[in-house]
């Protein structure tokens, strides 16, 4: 896809930012990683992300807090270390147990700020988020991770059970597209087709699926069904960009990060 001249310069939202997406943008897109200011901001943010981890690997005894911290560390540190490994081990235990939870407590949208997932029942967040984090931190081939991927992907599309909800489907797609083996799995293809059926004429996916998160997930794929949706969504993205180069009514930096990342994945940023 060629660069789109209608896009306003989108990088202003990240200048001087010390959030994990802001630091990522300053490093990867603004070329600031050799500056003393970026290095100081990076060190302070990473120290804060590591702070508060318990001996069991979880941060503040919370799986959701651990997902937040590990996602932030993915955008900054990127390579796993002993603390990240402990967090991933703990999350795998929690996610495996969450599959059998009888009471499906809902995780509200405000608890998912800065994360690429759709609000829904707790297992619909915990399991896909854990798989996603394991994949991006280099655990794609570990037996425990593959078993969990197989268990979830194998049941998708059956039309039965609680994993047929919008949250399960969208969040599982998010985990599948970053795994080298599952990016072209039949479950992934079914979910992309499901997304195509939901996509509106203007390019979004209707109520229940956050636009920027869905676009960013599909932009990881390079298949004709995914590309057709991405093309339409990117046209919509151009139409809804703000004059200052940002996107989103709320979480503007995060929405802008997801948008720019998708644009750059498709050669239009």
pLDDT (average), residues 172-196: 95
pLDDT (average), residues 122-151: 95
Q: Do residues 263 and 220 make contact, with C-beta atoms less than 8 angstroms apart?
A: no
Q: Is the dihedral of CA 128, 43, 53, 143 positive or negative?
A: positive
Query: Phi first, then psi: what are they for 197, rounded to 5°?
Result: -65, -30
Instruction: Give dist(CA 116, CA 210) in Å, integer.
Output: 9
Per-residue confidence band for 1, with pLDDT thresholds at 50, 70 and 90: very low
Per-residue confidence band for 64, with pLDDT thresholds at 50, 70 and 90: very high
**Percent of the chain topping pLDDT 70:** 94
Q: Is pLDDT above 60 for 100?
A: yes
Q: Is pLDDT above 60 for 3?
A: no
pLDDT of residue 162: 54
Q: Is the pTM of this model over 0.85?
A: yes
Which residue is associated with the tokens 């009888």? Answer: 102
Instruction: Give dist(CA 176, CA 169) in Å, integer.
Output: 10
Distances (CA, A) of 178 to 15, 56, 140, 218, 227: 28, 27, 9, 10, 16
Query: Looking at 93-210, which runs of residues are DSSP E strands?
Result: 106-107, 120-121
Helix orientation angle between 166-176 and 186-198, rounded to the nearest 10 degrees: 130
pLDDT of residue 31: 97
Distances (CA, A) of 142 to 27, 81, 135: 30, 16, 10
The answer to which of 119-133, 162-176, 202-216 has the lowest mean pLDDT is 162-176
Q: Is pLDDT above 80 for 101?
A: no
């Amino acid at each position: 896809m060629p660069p789109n001249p209608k896009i306003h310069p989108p990088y202003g939202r990240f200048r001087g930012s010390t959030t994990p997406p802001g630091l990522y943008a300053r490093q990867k897109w603004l070329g600031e990683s050799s500056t003393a200011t970026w290095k100081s901001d990076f060190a302070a943010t990473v120290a804060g992300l590591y702070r508060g981890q318990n001996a069991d690997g979880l941060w503040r005894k919370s799986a959701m807090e651990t997902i937040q911290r590990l996602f932030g560390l993915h955008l900054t540190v990127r390579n796993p270390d002993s603390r990240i490994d402990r967090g991933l081990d703990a999350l795998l235990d929690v996610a495996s147990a969450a599959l059998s939870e009888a009471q499906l407590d809902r995780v509200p949208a405000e608890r998912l700020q800065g994360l690429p997932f759709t609000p829904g029942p707790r297992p619909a967040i915990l399991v896909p988020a854990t798989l996603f984090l394991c994949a991006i931190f280099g655990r794609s081939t570990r037996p425990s991770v593959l078993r969990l991927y197989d268990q979830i992907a194998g049941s998708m599309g059956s039309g039965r059970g609680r994993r047929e909800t919008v949250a399960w489907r969208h969040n599982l797609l998010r985990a599948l597209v970053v795994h080298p083996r599952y990016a072209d799995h039949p479950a992934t293809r079914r979910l992309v087709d499901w997304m195509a059926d939901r996509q509106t004429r203007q390019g979004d996916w209707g109520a229940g699926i956050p636009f920027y998160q869905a676009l960013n997930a599909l932009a990881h794929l390079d298949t004709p069904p995914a590309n057709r949706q991405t093309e339409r969504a990117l046209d919509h993205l151009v139409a809804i960009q703000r004059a200052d180069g940002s996107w989103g009514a709320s979480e503007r930096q995060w929405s802008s990060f997801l948008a720019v990342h998708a644009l750059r994945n498709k050669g239009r940023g």
